[in-house]
Amino acid sequence: MKVLRTLVQVLFLGGVVALLLRGLAGHTPNTCEYYCPFGGLVALYPLARYKAYACALTELNVALLVSVLVLTVVSKKSFCGWVCPLGTVQEWLGRLGGKLFRRRFRLPKGVDRVLMNLRYVVLIAVPVLTFTVWKFDLGFRAYDPFYILFTWGGHETAAFSFYIVIGVLAAALLIPFFWCRYLCPMGAAMDPLSRAGALRIRRNRDTCTDCGECDKACPHAIPVSRVDEVTARNCTNCLDCIEECPVEGALELSWFGK
Amino acid sequence: MKKAVIIPLAIALVILLAFATTNAYRVPTADISFVECDERPTSVATVEFEVSGLKCRGTARTFARQIQDVPGVVSFVAYARTHSAIVEYDPALTDPDAIREAFEEPILHEGKTYEVFKMVSVAGE
């Protein structure tokens, strides 16, 4: 399954890199922003109020937002673990960091919990700033590592934007999924639906040996061995826990934990 | 683990649905009329241009400025997703070639000229 997920990740990451290269060569006017589901979320207010889109957002952003939310209802945050190119880059950097430093760094639980709420601040702040300070312009571009990285400093980015990307990627080397865990507004938007996601990991108490390998394998620090079914909002259904489980059938993918 | 295949299948399905349904609810990036309702000519023709450089609300406004002085241009609707502009005009006063010439005109900004818009294709009605 790891191979299948990696293939899907490579496909989407390759897609945005190809788009970047085609854009830099002048073969397409579209950037990764054209396919960004978070853009759909920013587009909702002007669409509802003025029947118009902000800046370069289009109905495709809205359609992809709906798609991602439907996917979340079906399969938790599979978008993050299987599709999102920034998530893929961070995952690979996290693995590299794990090899370099021979451990995964984690912030103290209390700090981690507080910082995770920053995503909600970003989720609210970006649309509000877009319609007030940035006057319907997409000012978040200058701060959004996905846009900065995959447009290689596109329209409205500045020199400091690259420092943001370097900071986010360096942090991902040390703390797995730094951006996703603490700052990603799209992840925050998916949270409530992710908890109810139908396709989720189920632990079979009768066969589980409580070895804790699944806990160690989870890149999002979910205590899989202590629950009967994983409803955690951060679960991306990456299936690393199942891969690492030494007992066949102790962990499996299920519909609603059944 | 067979259930895991459902995940990429679900991803493919929702993405395909997103692309398949976008045309069903097209909302213009800009919708600008150059004449009052009572000034609309009785006979109006429409031409749709695919234009490189037309990619957001800002460029749509620039596009409007480029064509607003062409006699006979009535209105214009821009769609950033398809990089297209649908222009209404009075066929007695102008034609698609004149409109094209107007929006392809280089723009002078702070002493420099920029070729912002270039027609890619045209589909008239």
Query: Helices A59-75 and A37-50 sit at what angle, rounded to 10 degrees?
Result: 120
Within 10 Å of residue A83's Cβ, how many Cβ atoms?
25
- The answer to whether B42 and B88 are in contact (CB under 8 A) is no
Name the residue among B30, B31, B80 with its Cβ closest to that of A58: B80
Buried b (16+ CB within 10 A) or exposed e, A146-160: bbbbbbeebbbbeee
Q: A82 to chain B: nearest residue by CA?
A: B8
Tell me the domain boundaries of chain A: 2-193, 198-255
Q: State whether residue B14 sits within 8 Å of chain A by CB.
A: yes
Domain spans, chain B? 27-124
Contact B12, B89 (CB under 8 A): no
Q: How confident is the model at residue B124, as a pLDDT?
A: 56
Residue A204 has pLDDT above 90, yes or no: yes
Q: Do the chains contact at A53 and B3, CB–CB below 8 Å?
A: no
Q: What is the least distance, in Å, from the CA of B3 to any CA of chain A?
A: 6
Q: Residue A230, Cβ neighbours under 10 Å: how many?
A: 25
Structure-token pair, residue A47: 């669409």
Best CA proximity match to A54, nearest among A65, A42, A62: A42
Fold of the domain built from segment(s) A198-255: Alpha-Beta Plaits (3.30.70)
Residues of A within 8 A of B56 (CB-CB) are: 55-56
> For chain B, where are the E strands, in sequence order?
30-33, 45-52, 73-79, 84-89, 107-109, 112-114, 118-124
Amino acid at B54: L
Token pair for A242: 């199942």
User: Which chain A residue's Cα is nearest to B61?
Assistant: A55
Tens of pLDDT, residues A192-201: 999 999 999 9
Which of B39 and A181 is assigned the larger pLDDT?
A: A181
How much is the mean pLDDT over chain A?
Answer: 94
Can you name the residues that pair with A203 across neighbouring β-strands? A251
Interface test with A, best of B14, B51, B55 (most A CBs within 10 A): B14
Residue A201 belongs to what H/E stretch?
strand A199-203
Q: For the domain made up of B27-124, give the CATH fold.
A: Alpha-Beta Plaits (3.30.70)
pLDDT digits (tens, 9 = 90+) for A100-110: 998 888 899 99
Reported as a single tens digit per residue, the pLDDT across A114-159 is: 999 999 999 999 999 999 999 888 999 999 999 999 999 888 899 9
Per-residue model confidence (pLDDT) at position B1? 60
How would you write the pLDDT of chain B (125 residues) with one tens digit per residue?
Answer: 678 899 999 999 999 999 999 888 889 999 999 998 888 898 999 999 999 999 999 999 999 999 999 999 999 999 999 999 999 999 999 999 999 999 999 988 888 888 889 888 888 55
- Comparing CA positions, the residue from A149, A119, A156 lying closest to residue A38 is A119
Kindly provide the ipTM of the predicted complex, given to two decimals: 0.93
